[in-house]
Structures are given as structure tokens and as C-alpha cells.
């Protein structure tokens, strides 16, 4: 019988998940905070509502399972609500284990408590005195992080966001005015990579590794963004990693999932995404996310051969087997409104020619009666695949000019490895 699936979220990542859900012959139901036209077109029914408000979810009682795209509803406990109140099995982690993302202090302490490698030296700060102690130990090369979710906007890195002790202190003061504690980490330098795994809480199935490009402009210049694009290779590895690096990162993920169960008595189910950094001396865990990455989901779902709904059921049932991914390279490029991220031009018209022959995902755009328009966030993602990066990049280049509007994109995604 055709399955009914509820998807929560409304970005390009969720558009890619939606496509996989319907591809394997299921009926899609969607809950979004603002309408993503791509997801809406694939859905049998769409309800709009806040990610922190679960009161409308009972209208989806008849679905076979649910999957949650973004971290915020997971941190608010949407999985607990769907499973415990509505009896809807959910392929995303419960609030208690999701603390691995929603509390950066919890994550660092968990790694320490269970002797998991890859932890960055850190300080939990409860006063300006603690900040001074941290700087005595690490010097000014630190990263200041609020403990909770900030939608990627709260982390301040020495050299990028501040360069004097005074600026660090000002930010620390701001954080202490709204919370009791925050985190200081030693700043590491190296190349970052994204490792996403499917897990049923016991077994993990790694997905192809992805590298994302966070800076707004070419050559890694300009402010940090939600990401301007990403690539993955046909080999499913990355050029700057040895096999031993990947084994270390996988081991950190496995040990973390084990530790989470010991700590909470709950199994972590869904996708766990570790953001890692390879430095000259080792592999470090920068952050955990309790969901697919955006745009990393767009790279890997493009390649996933295993039936997505089947995989979700295996995760829910605690019976995860394996997943196979096509041996192709992928390049994902985001088109963003001109001025993004500092002064993005919203309400700009976008024209997409029909002749586009690669996958296109809507991120944050809205539809009027006659047109598609930008918001202040990223607009559209294109994903090209090929036997190698050059082929994948070529497909992006061939198609991206078929999207017209007051838009900007990086031409070097997949060029600088």
C-alpha cells in the first residue's frame, strides 16, 4: 500500500528530502513555516505553522511516519510529541539525544566523559573571569559560542569576527546578559568536512563525504553564510583526507551514538551529521547536527540508490541495513539574492527557463500569481552530477545562466578543493 509521509521544514534540504519521498512512491504531507513552492507542488496536503508550535500536527494523524528537516523543531521536542502524543513513528531523534546539537556544552562534556577522541580543548565560561582564564590558556585564538541554537549566527571566531580581547569581552558580556554560561574553544585551523550518517542508534551507515563553502564570495572571501555550495566526489571521499582520517571521524560518530544511549537511555535515530576539521596534527569535531546538512543533503540524496522510505523504516524499526550511493561526483551551487548575506534584495523576480536539465531545489522563495520572488535568504540550489567534478561543474555552468534575476552565485564551487 502507498505510504503516507509527513515532512517538516521548508528549505532546499527539505525540497530534496521531499523529492526522495515521492520518488519511492509515497504520498507526501508537509508542515512548513512558509510555503516552499517545490515542496507544496509535491504534497497532497500542506499546513503552515511555527516550528515551535505542534498544535496543528494532529491533522497529520494518518501518516505512516514523519521526518524532520531542520534542527529547531527537533530541539523543541517534535519527535517526542509525534511519537508519544500522536503515535506517529518518526525518523528523527528525540529531544534528549538531540542535545548533542542544541547544547554545545553538553556535546563537549559528553565527548570528555566517554573518552571519545576529537574533542577541541574548551572552557565553560560563567563569568568574565573565566574568559580571562581561557585566554591565559589558549591565547586570543579562540572561538566564542553560545550554548544553544542560534541558527548558525552566534559563533564568533578570532580573526573573523573579533581581533582584540576587548571585543571578545564585549561579546562575552552580551552572552552573559541572556544566559548563565557559554563556551570558549581553542581555535583550530585546517579544512572542514561534513560526515553525515544514517543511524538506528546501534548501527551507522556513512554517506559520501561533502565539503561545503561557507563564504559569500569566491576564493573564500567575504562574510560567512548559510553556505554557498558544496561538492562530493565519485569516490565518496575528499582529496585532502586519508583513509585513517575518515576512520577516525566514523569512530567518533559511533562512539558518540553509543555514549548518547548510555547517557539518556534513548537510542538516537535518524541522521547525525558531524562537522569535522582536519588540521596538521589530527581530526577534530567542530559541531554535531541532528539532521542532514544543508546543502550536504542535496549532494548525497542525489546519489542515494536505496529506497528512502525503506531506509527510514529500517531506522525507525532499529533494523538499519545498508545504503548504496552512485559513484558520481556532485556539485551544488546556491543562487542567492544580490547583497546576501548583509543586505539582501528581497521581492526580486526570478525567471527559470524550462530547458534546465539538472536538479533544481527551491530554498527560500515565494510565489505570487504570476512570478517567483526572492526573500532575504538563499533562493535556489542547482545540483550537477558527473563522472568527475569537472563534468558536474560543467552541468552547473550550462544551466545556471537559465535562471534570471537579481541573483549572485559562486563560480568556484568544486574548483578549490
Interacting residues with ligand AMP (CB under 6 A): 120, 143, 145, 152, 155, 157, 185, 187-188, 192, 275, 286-287
Q: What Å distances lie between residue 294 and 64, 211, 267, 383, 388, CA to CA?
A: 25, 11, 24, 12, 22
Residue 51 near residue 73 (C-beta atoms within 8 A): yes
Q: Does 364 bind ligand GLY (CB under 6 A)?
A: no
Which triple of cell numbers denotes residue 234? 565519485
- The residue among 75 and 143 lying less far from ligand AMP, judged by its C-beta, is 143
Of the candidate spans 32-40, 288-296, 359-367, 370-378, the one that interacts with ligand GLY by CB under 6 A turns out to be 288-296
CA nearest to 249, candidates 143, 116, 122:
116
Q: What Å distances lie between residue 151 and 154, 224, 264, 302, CA to CA?
A: 8, 13, 25, 25
Task: Give the Cα separation of 178 and 24 in Å (integer).
Answer: 46
To ligand GLY, the closest distance from the beta carbon of 81 in angstroms equals 23
CA nearest to 235, candidates 303, 317, 134:
303
To ligand GLY, the closest distance from the beta carbon of 62 in angstroms equals 31
Q: Name which position in 296, 309, 316, 374 contacts ligand GLY (CB under 6 A).
A: 296
To ligand GLY, the closest distance from the beta carbon of 55 in angstroms equals 28
Residue 88 near residue 63 (C-beta atoms within 8 A): yes
- Lay out the site mask for ligand GLY across 204-233 (x = CB under 6 A, - = otherwise): --------x--------------x------
To ligand AMP, the closest distance from the beta carbon of 42 in angstroms equals 30
To ligand GLY, the closest distance from the beta carbon of 61 in angstroms equals 30
CA nearest to 335, candidates 382, 293, 300:
382
Q: Does 101 bind ligand GLY (CB under 6 A)?
A: no
Instruction: Name the residue with the smallest CB distance to ligand AMP.
Output: 287
Of the candidate spans 252-260, 262-270, 289-297, 312-320, the one that interacts with ligand GLY by CB under 6 A turns out to be 289-297
Contacted by 391, from ligand GLY, ligand AMP, none: CB < 5 to 8 Å by type? none
SS (H, E, C) 184-251: EEECCCCEEEEEEEEECCCCEEECCCEEEEEEEEHHHEEEEEEEEEEEECCCCCCCCCCHHHHHHHHH
Contacted by 157, from ligand GLY, ligand AMP, none: CB < 5 to 8 Å by type? ligand AMP
Contacted by 296, from ligand AMP, ligand GLY, none: CB < 5 to 8 Å by type? ligand GLY
CA nearest to 402, candidates 347, 340, 346, 333:
333
- The residue among 211 and 269 lying less far from ligand AMP, judged by its C-beta, is 211
- The residue among 16 and 277 lying less far from ligand AMP, judged by its C-beta, is 277
Residue 319 Cα to chain centre, angstroms:
24
Contacted by 289, from ligand GLY, ligand AMP, none: CB < 5 to 8 Å by type? ligand GLY
To ligand GLY, the closest distance from the beta carbon of 225 in angstroms equals 10
Q: Does 293 bind ligand GLY (CB under 6 A)?
A: yes
- The sheet with strand 142-146 has its strands ordered as 122-125, 182-186, 142-146, 156-157
To ligand AMP, the closest distance from the beta carbon of 193 in angstroms equals 11
Contacted by 200, from ligand GLY, ligand AMP, none: CB < 5 to 8 Å by type? none
CA nearest to 76, candidates 58, 92, 94:
94
To ligand GLY, the closest distance from the beta carbon of 294 in angstroms equals 4
Of the candidate spans 32-40, 129-137, 287-295, 406-414, the one that interacts with ligand GLY by CB under 6 A turns out to be 287-295
CA nearest to 310, candidates 30, 9, 48, 3:
3
Residue 91 near residue 17 (C-beta atoms within 8 A): no
Question: Which residues form the interface with ligand GLY (CB under 6 A)?
Answer: 212, 227, 289, 293-294, 296
Amino acid at each position: 500500500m502507498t505510504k503516507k509521509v509527513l515532512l517538516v521544514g521548508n528549505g532546499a534540504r527539505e525540497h530534496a528530502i521531499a523529492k526522495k519521498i515521492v520518488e519511492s512512491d509515497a504520498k507526501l504531507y508537509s508542515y512548513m513555516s512558509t510555503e516552499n513552492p517545490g515542496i507544496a507542488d509535491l504534497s497532497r496536503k500542506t499546513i503552515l505553522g511555527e516550528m515551535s508550535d505542534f498544535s496543528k500536527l494532529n491533522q497529520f494523524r494518518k501518516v505512516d511516519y514523519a521526518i524532520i528537516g531542520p534542527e529547531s523543531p527537533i530541539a523543541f521536542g517534535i519527535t517526542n510529541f509525534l511519537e508519544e502524543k500522536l503515535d506517529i513513528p518518526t525518523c528523527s531523534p528525540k529531544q534528549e539525544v538531540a542535545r548533542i546539537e542544541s547544547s554545545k556544552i553538553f556535546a563537549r562534556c559528553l565527548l570528555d566523559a566517554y573518552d571519545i577522541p576529537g574533542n577541541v580543548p574548551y572552557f565553560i565560561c560563567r563569568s568574565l573571569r573565566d574568559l580571562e582564564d581561557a585566554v591565559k590558556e589558549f591565547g586570543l585564538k579562540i572561538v566564542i559560542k553560545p550554548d544553544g541554537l542560534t541558527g548558525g549566527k552566534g559563533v564568533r571566531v578570532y580573526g573573523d569576527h573579533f581581533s582584540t580581547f576587548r571585543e571578545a569581552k564585549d561579546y562575552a558580556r552580551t552572552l552573559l546578559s541572556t544566559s548563565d554560561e557559554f563556551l570558549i574553544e581553542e581555535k583550530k585551523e585546517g579544512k572542514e568536512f561534513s560526515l553525515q550518517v544514517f543511524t538506528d542508534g546501534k548501527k551507522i551507515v556513512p554517506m559520501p563525504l561533502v565539503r561545503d563553502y561557507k563564504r559569500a564570495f569566491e576564493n573564500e572571501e567575504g562574510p560567512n553564510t548559510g553556505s554557498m555550495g558544496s561538492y562530493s566526489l565519485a569516490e565518496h571521499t575528499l582529496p585532502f583526507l586519508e583513509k585513517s582520517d575518515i576512520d577516525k571521524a566514523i569512530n567518533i560518530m559511533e562512539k558518540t551514538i553509543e555514549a548518547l544511549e548510555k547517557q539518556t537511555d534513548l537510542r538516537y535515530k535518524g541522521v547525525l551529521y558531524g562537522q569535522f576539521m582536519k588540521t596538521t596534527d589530527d581530526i577534530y569535531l567542530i559541531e554535531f547536527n541532528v539532521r542532514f546538512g544543508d546543502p550536504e543533503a542535496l549532494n548525497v540524496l542525489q546519489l542515494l540508490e536505496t529506497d528512502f522510505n525503506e531506509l527510514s523504516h529500517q531506522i525507525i524499526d532499529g533494523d538499519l541495513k545498508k545504503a548504496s550511493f552512485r559513484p558520481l561526483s556532485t556539485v551544488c551551487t546556491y543562487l542567492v539574492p544580490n547583497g546576501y548575506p548583509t543586505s539582501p534584495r528581497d521581492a526580486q523576480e526570478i525567471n527559470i527557463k524550462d530547458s534546465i536539465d539538472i536538479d533544481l531545489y527551491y530554498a527560500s522563495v515565494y510565489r505570487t500569481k504570476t512570478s517567483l520572488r526572492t526573500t532575504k535568504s538563499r533562493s535556489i540550489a542547482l545540483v550537477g552530477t558527473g563522472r568527475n567534478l569537472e563534468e558536474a561543474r560543467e552541468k552547473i555552468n550550462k544551466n545556471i545562466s537559465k535562471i534570471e534575476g537579481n541573483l549572485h552565485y559562486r563560480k568556484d564551487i568544486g574548483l578549490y578543493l
